Amino acid sequence: MPEGHTVHRMARDHSKHLAGQTIRLCSPQGRFAAEAKRLDRKRLTSVSAHGKHLFYRWSNPKTRGGRETVMHVHLGLYGKFRIHKNPPPPPRGAVRVRMIGDLRTIDLNGPTKCEILTAPLFRKLSDRLGVNPLDPNANPELAFVRLSKTKKPIGSALLDQSLIAGIGNIYRAEILHLLKIDPEMPSYKLSREQLEEMWRLTVDLFKIGVKQNKIITVDLSLLNKPISRLTKDERLMIYKKQKCSYCHGAVRKWTLGARTMYACPKCQR
């Protein structure tokens, strides 16, 4: 499943290719046909992301005050976008939605969610999501308060999208390793300083991820080769490694929060 930085990068790229244009919309697969007909030939005003969720806003001049219509996409485990130059090739696989702009066409295959949200449903989803690290107006205090009240291990809590939106399995392992925090530590035991440091690190790593379009947690100032030439193993500190990048001791691997956790028993006591 894509982590938050990837989804924000998609929002940025899709906005660049399609926002401000009148879009031709169709559903080659047929499962979004009625909704696509409703949005076809409407103007896409913006594309935004919150955590792992994408929101496409379409102008709707037929509604009172020209209220926007929101299309919500959550890729899940199997969802994927493909971007084509126009004219696009024939749809490949089960394309749920095809969005055709002036110069680019974007196809969506296999999402967990692709739906039009009413205003109440949009508010309900927004209220359910946690603080967005890539929102310049985010209030991390909301996450701090919730984390300070739960006995859930911090390694599990970081996967809870109602706390901090966008952190997935790789980021949680890397963040806790960089901060030398035991993933099994109950969340309420983290100090205020640790919570603030965790937030700052998350924001910094997400910004790097969006810019480079990949997760990078190693110190960029210490790299001796171009970022584009780094392997996944070279970009990460602990995830799927056998030895700790700090002490070179054996990495522990176990299930935490229904996902595989990686940590150093020595450095993350």
Active site residue ranges: 2-3, 52, 259
Q: Whose structure tokens read 């696009």?
A: 88
Q: How far is the CA of 50 from the CAs of 240, 244, 269, in angstroms?
A: 27, 32, 32
Q: Which of 49, 51, 53 is nearest to 115 (CA)?
A: 53
Q: Is 238 within 8 Å of 251 (Cβ atoms)?
A: yes
CA distance 187 to 55: 31
Q: What's the one-letter identity of residue 230?
A: L
Buried b (16+ CB within 10 A) or exposed e, 247-265: eeeebeeeebbeeebbbbe
Q: Which two tokens stand for residue 211?
A: 């810019």
| Residue 187, Cβ density class (10 Å: 0-12 exposed, 13-18 middle, ≥19 buried) | buried
Q: Which two tokens stand for residue 90?
A: 């024939």
3-state secondary structure of 130: coil
Q: Where are the alpha helices (DSSP H) in the chain?
A: 4-18, 33-39, 119-128, 141-147, 154-157, 169-178, 192-212, 232-235
